[in-house]
Amino acid sequence: MKRILMVCLGNICRSPLAEGILKSKVNTEEVFVDSAGTGGWHVGGLPDKRSIEVAKNHDIDITIQKCRKFDISDFDKFDIIYVMDRSNYDSVTSMAYDKEDLAKVKMIRDEILSTSGSDVPDPYYGGESGFEFVYQMIDELCDVIAKKLDDERQIW
Q: In whole angstroms, what is the distance from residue 69 CA to residue 103 CA? A: 20
Near ligand 4NP in 111-140, by CB under 6 A: 122, 124
Shortest distance, position 60 Cβ to ligand 4NP, whole Å: 16
* 11 interacts with ligand 4NP by CB under 6 A: yes
Site string for ligand 4NP, 28-57 (x = CB under 6 A): ---------x---x----------------
Backbone CA torsion sign across 60, 23, 81, 112: negative
33: CB partners within 8 A, 6+ apart? 4, 5, 6, 19, 22, 23, 26
93: CB partners within 8 A, 6+ apart? 102, 105
Binding segment for ligand 4NP (CB under 6 A), chosen from 9-17, 70-78, 89-97, 108-116, is 9-17
Catalytic residue flag (residue 122): yes
Residue 46 DSSP class: P
Q: Can you tell me which of 4, 5, 6, 14 binds ligand 4NP, judged by CB under 6 A?
A: 14
Question: Which stretches of the chain bind ligand 4NP, using CB under 6 A?
Answer: 8-14, 37, 41, 122, 124
